[in-house]
Structure formats: structure tokens, C-alpha cells
Amino acid sequence: MTIGLLIFLALGGFVVGGLARLAVPGPDPMPWWATILLGVAGMWIGGIVAWVLFGRSAGFFLSLLSAVLLLIAYRKLVQKRPLTGPGARRAA
């Protein structure tokens, strides 16, 4: 049961994190494990928001939206680069 949950989290995190990286333009130099962590964090935050607002678990869209917002915040606050324009295409 525990190994199945870990596999589900890894695969789900990889899919959600990968799609979030595709949704935000520009390069995102991060390893595969950081993509999984981004996706898992998006699923977790999306689940909490859905539970508070709707009283039920999050769907795929809310998890993806949360991961995209996390990636945007990471790029703005940690990498200090814009989302659009010539500065968005430069590597971190």
C-alpha cells in the first residue's frame, strides 16, 4: 500500500510538474526530481484549496493550476527573472 502511494505520487507529480513547466514559457533548468516535487506540491496545495473551498478533493485542473502558480512564484522570487520579454528566455 505504501509503495503504491509513493509510485502514484511520483508519477502524478511528474505529470503535473511537467505540464506546469510546459505551460510557463521560457527555460526552467531543473532536474527530474525537482519536477516531481513541483508536481507533488501543486497537487498538495490544490487539494487543500479544493477542500477549503468546495469540501472535496482537488481535480487535475486545480492541481495543475497550483503547480503553475508555484513555478511562476519560483521564477519571480528565486530566479529573479520576468515571465515575458527577453529576460524570460535567459537561463537561471
Confidence (pLDDT) at 55: 81
Q: Which three cell numbers stand for residue 66?
A: 497550483
Burial class (CB in 10 A: 0-12, 13-18, 19+), 29: exposed
Q: Which domain holds residue 76?
A: 37-82
Confidence (pLDDT) at 14: 95
How many percent of the chain have pLDDT more than 90?
46
The count of other CB atoms within 10 Å of the CB of residue 54 is 11
In a domain, 14, yes or no: no
Confidence (pLDDT) at 91: 65
In a domain, 76, yes or no: yes
The count of other CB atoms within 10 Å of the CB of residue 87 is 11
User: What predicted TM-score, i.e. pTM, was given to this entire model?
Assistant: 0.84
Residues of the chain short of pLDDT 50, as ranges, are: none
In a domain, 44, yes or no: yes
Q: Which three cell numbers stand for residue 4?
A: 503504491
In a domain, 20, yes or no: no
Per the structure, the count of domains in the chain is: 1
In a domain, 9, yes or no: no
In a domain, 21, yes or no: no
In a domain, 52, yes or no: yes
Confidence (pLDDT) at 92: 59
